[in-house]
Amino acid sequence: MKVNGTPYRTIWLDDDGRTVKTIDQRWLPHEFRVVDLTSREDVAIAIKDMWVRGAPLIGATAAFGMAIQMGIDPSDASLHETWDILHDTRPTAINLKWALDDMRALLMPLAPADRVEAAYRRAVEICDEDVEICRQIGLNGLKIIEEIAAKKCGKPVNILTHCNAGWLATVDWGTATSPIYHALEKGIEVHVWVDETRPRNQGAHLTTWEMVSHGVPHKLIVDNAGGHLMQHGEVDLVIVGTDRTTAHGDVCNKIGTYLKALAAHDNNVPFYVALPSPTIDWTVKDGVKEIPIEERDGEEISHLWGKQEDGSIGQVQVSPDGAEHGNPAFDVTPSRLVTGLITERGVCDASREGLAGLFPEFAK
């Protein structure tokens, strides 16, 4: 997508074919900072401290981390150690493991001297694949928006989204936002309710930045507003992303997604989840019991991050010294609350049968 008229992806290789460049998203929406990642340690910090975030982008970044390390030490020991170091950065988004497994399976059979070239090639390929997958998700999700638009007789389609499942969370296009960007390109009127998404405010910081940059009509709302808006007919459709979806269609996503799904269910609002196939964890049966939920630092709750009146960027403390905090970063929405899954191969029921119908080769 474009930033001030210049096309960007969220991660790319510099002209030397070796330096990995990415956007340090911690500074958005106030500053657009591009940083170099030159070691696996850089990559581990960038993922853990959320310079990059969003399941597909975490996977793509880890793939580059493996490639960078192959340029430093292509031995078997270094390959396995890098898998462990990068895998330990964040526990919930399955795209991380998917990308690391993919890279290791490709590299292990090769002679060490051949690994670096192959690793960079595959990391770039993973990025290109993600872009195409997200574009297809957009085209498949567009059909849902078109159907609703047809019934709204020229009034905008109101779409609620949670967290940031936009182009910043992927390599380009986004998952939940891709249908929205495609609808806009087709001249369909949409209006997006953006959940601020406490504690880190990915909605407030990142999704609104995307909406403003791309001229998408939107309103930022507090996390607790969604249910009220649904009761009053102000939401036609919910589309969210996911960090891990089980083979049975349970959906793990940013904390608060489950409450939106409950409210949508109670108000007959369609609740769709947009996901690329690497986000499906075919090994998990019961999402609530089996998916590891990341517990993050309480400081994300005790402090709010933003631009101060004097223009400096920093934190303010919102809870008293001595207060204790609990910060589970994700929750699981059971498949029964999900209207459908929007994938690169089409839209399906949130069920084993639905996913197996679209991805028979994985659903054995």
* Residues 51, 57: Cα–Cα separation, whole Å: 11
Is 140 within any annotated ligand binding site? no
How far from each other are the two terminal CA atoms of the chain, in whole angstroms? 37
Chosen residue from 9, 115, 122, 254 binding ligand MRU by CB under 6 A: 254
Residue 73, phi then psi, degrees to nearest 5: -155, 105
* Residues 26, 11: Cα–Cα separation, whole Å: 15
Least Cβ distance, residue 56 to ligand MRU (angstroms): 5
In DSSP notation, 162-177 reads -S--SGGGSSSS-STT
Chosen residue from 43, 94, 165, 211 binding ligand MRU by CB under 6 A: 165
Least Cβ distance, residue 244 to ligand MRU (angstroms): 9
Q: Return the bridge partners of 2, or none.
A: 7
What sign does the dihedral 149-152-153-159 (CA atoms) show? negative
Chosen residue from 23, 37, 56, 258 binding ligand MRU by CB under 6 A: 56
Residue 169 in the binding site for ligand MRU (CB under 6 A): yes
Is 215 within any annotated ligand binding site? no
Residue 170 in the binding site for ligand MRU (CB under 6 A): yes
Residue 133 in the binding site for ligand MRU (CB under 6 A): no
Chosen residue from 53, 97, 122, 191 binding ligand MRU by CB under 6 A: 53
Is 267 within any annotated ligand binding site? no
Chosen residue from 141, 203, 241, 354 binding ligand MRU by CB under 6 A: 241
* Residues 246, 288: Cα–Cα separation, whole Å: 10
In DSSP notation, 293-315 reads PPB--THHHHEEEEE-TTS-EEE
3-state percent helix, strand, coil for the chain, nearest multiple of 5: 45, 20, 35
Q: Which stretch binds ligand MRU (CB under 6 A): 164-172, 223-231, 280-288, 298-306?
A: 164-172
Residue 168 in the binding site for ligand MRU (CB under 6 A): no
Residue 163 in the binding site for ligand MRU (CB under 6 A): yes
**Catalytic site residues?**
243
Output the residue with the shortest Cβ distance to ligand MRU.
241
Least Cβ distance, residue 264 to ligand MRU (angstroms): 16
Residue 243 in the binding site for ligand MRU (CB under 6 A): yes
Chosen residue from 106, 148, 329, 356 binding ligand MRU by CB under 6 A: 329
Contacts of 268 (CB under 8 A, 6+ apart): none
CA triple 194-240-314, angle to 5 deg: 45
Contacts of 5 (CB under 8 A, 6+ apart): none
Query: How big is the site for ligand MRU, counted in residues (CB under 6 A)?
Result: 17
Which residue is associated with the tokens 């793939």?
Answer: 63
Least Cβ distance, residue 298 to ligand MRU (angstroms): 16
- State whether residue 359 is helix, strand or coil: coil
Residue 160 in the binding site for ligand MRU (CB under 6 A): no
Chosen residue from 242, 335, 339, 343 binding ligand MRU by CB under 6 A: 242
* Residues 45, 139: Cα–Cα separation, whole Å: 34
From 179, 174, 258, select the one nearest 210 (Cα to Cα): 174
Give me the residues that bind ligand MRU (CB under 6 A), please: 53-56, 93, 163, 165, 169-170, 175, 202, 241-243, 253-254, 329
- Binding-site residue numbers for substrate are 53-55, 90, 202, 253-254
- Binding-site residue numbers are 53-55, 90, 202, 253-254
